[in-house]
Amino acid sequence: MKTPRPPAVLVLAVLALHLLLGQEVQRIQDGWRHDGPPMPRRLQVEFVQEMQLQLPPPARRVATAPPVPVRVPAPRSPAADVPAQDLPPPPAPAASAPVVASAADAASAPAGPVMPAAVAASGPASDEPGPEWPLSTRLSYAMTGSFRGGPIHGQAHVEWLRQGAAYQVHLDVSAGPSFAPFFTRRISSQGQLTPDGIAPQRYDEEEKRVLLDGSRATVFFLGAEVQLAHGVRQPLARGAQDSASQFVQLTWLFLTGREALQAGRRVEFPLVLPRRQYAWQYEVVGETMVDTPMGPLASWHLRPTQPMVGGDLAAELWVAPALQYLPVRLLIRQSAETVIDLTLKSAPLQAAPESPNDIPRRLSP
């Protein structure tokens, strides 16, 4: 007795579905198509060694200045938000005067100081970053959590890349199997390393879900101003960071002793997101042990002191002094239904030193 064959229409429908899914997976892997500016080309770095656990260097004491109070201006009328193409080029920032921060929604952005309490060490600027900056590093994380109320699992990678004084930070998150993710998100920051720390020049974020069009947001840092994702320019405070650069800026602050890790202390800086700015604060909750593939590591827990608004992402982080204060865990919240928990799943990988100045060594106390 012959086995009945499935109808030809059903066979064609199954083949079409497989083809469609294959095209969507390929589009995710190749990058999203859109009309916005292309993503910057990644710095080419080869990771050749695992990061070794090390005792944290003694904190280097630097000259500090008292916090400078910076107010958040009153809300502006919609007419004040002039498209960027209608504005003249921004003036060069004055080195001696801090720039007042502003927020798109002053009612939701807390007032208060946005300048970090510590300032850069004295001395002339150098074209090469000092030994306090980590070598180019790749961190891999396992991801769990929930997306719009449903459980998700996946993976994430953070790459800190530097060549001379140029840097990039990339965070790639994907949910589902690595060969066919149903959700991916990329955030990237690029700019310069300066005596005052990280100075972002551009921030990008992209998001894609299977069978849906991708979205892109780009922010440009223009000296004394910032151009947000919707094209509006606003004043920019000195020391401002973006969603990606903030984590390495914190690493630098802790490695150099510009900020002390002590329960109850607060670390402050201006934070620029695609749609608005915040006078941002992290509270140092305390020290705890975090299980990692390298064994339990003593880590400091930092937690935001205020919630985000409008669907912006806020992150708690655990930084390990034995791993150059890099984050061994990140807990990212967008809402009560969307939470991503990233935990280190392998030893971080690092590049070889670019020059003798890049060889890690203890900083003088």
Comparing 205 with 109, which gets the higher pLDDT? 205
Whether residue 169 is predicted with pLDDT greater than 80 in this model: the reply is yes
pLDDT tens for each residue of 20-42: 444 444 444 444 344 567 778 88
Stretch 167-195: mean pLDDT, rounded? 88
pLDDT category at 136 given cuts 50, 70, 90 is very high
Tell me the HSE value of 3 on the side-chain side, using a 13 A CA sphere: 2
Q: For residue 189, which of 177, 178, 200, 176 has the smallest C-alpha distance?
A: 200
Question: What phi and psi, each to the nearest 5 degrees, are found at residue 330?
Answer: -135, 130
Q: What is the DSSP letter of 232?
A: B
Q: Is the pTM of this model over 0.75?
A: no
- Three-state DSSP state, 252: helix
Comparing 267 with 62, which gets the higher pLDDT? 267
Q: What is the mean pLDDT of the chain?
A: 75
pLDDT tens for each residue of 274-287: 999 999 999 999 99
pLDDT tens for each residue of 313-335: 889 999 999 999 999 999 998 87
Helices (H), the chain: 8-30, 245-255
Q: Taking a C-beta distance cutoff of 8 angstroms, is the pair 49, 350 a contact? A: yes
Q: Taking a C-beta distance cutoff of 8 angstroms, is the pair 214, 206 a contact? A: yes
pLDDT tens for each residue of 49-105: 999 998 765 544 444 444 444 444 444 443 444 444 444 444 343 333 333 333 333
Q: Note the pLDDT of residue 343.
A: 96
For the chain, the structural domain boundaries read 101-353
Q: Note the pLDDT of residue 308.
A: 82
Contacts of 3 (CB under 8 A, 6+ apart): none
Stretch 340-348: mean pLDDT, rounded? 95
- List C-alpha distances in Å: 245 to 20, 190, 253, 300: 37, 8, 12, 19
pLDDT category at 2 given cuts 50, 70, 90 is low
Burial of residue 313 (CB within 10 Å: 0-12, 13-18, 19+) is middle
pLDDT tens for each residue of 295-305: 999 999 999 99
Stretch 194-206: mean pLDDT, rounded? 94
